[in-house]
Amino acid sequence: MLELERTHRNANRAVMLVLCLVGAAAMAQSGGPYEIVWSTIDGGGGVSSGGEYIVTGTIGQAEGGRSAGGGYEVLGGFWPGGPMCTVEFGHYARFAEYWLSSGCDADNEWCGGADLDQMGDVDGVDLGLFVEEWLYWCPYDWPLK
């Protein structure tokens, strides 16, 4: 009986040791927060103008991302065309207002722009076209602006 109790105690110790080692290995793997640094060196020397506005590019200027103020907006990187926007929830809300509508045509602006394939109704095909643009820059002729 004493021998059985000693064997049982040794087995418990072995299990506890394995659990501690596994726990220590797991903690060693976590290490801390990871960080991915994104860097670009942007080019684009030259002048772009239209009307009374002029934008001058410089080599080595940091990526600006999106800058907006008042009624003006500038996007860094490759310009998607104007007006500048990102396909997001507000556009989806407009799209959802017309979900499963029919009778879409030029007179009702293709159901407020939701009939993206202009086939007369707002259906799964239009939803697929919408999803392809989700969180990207609005296409030049994006009808849900």
Retrieve residue 141's tokens.
Answer: 């002729």
Distance (Å, rounded) from C-alpha 94 to C-alpha 72? 23
pLDDT surpassing 90 at residue 123: yes
Distance (Å, rounded) from C-alpha 127 to C-alpha 91? 12
pLDDT of residue 135: 85
- Return the higher-pLDDT residue of 103 and 68: 103
Q: What is the pTM of this model?
A: 0.47
- Extents of the domains making up the chain: 1-32, 73-145
**Per-residue pLDDT tens for 42-87?**
555 667 777 887 776 655 555 556 666 777 766 665 544 445 678 8
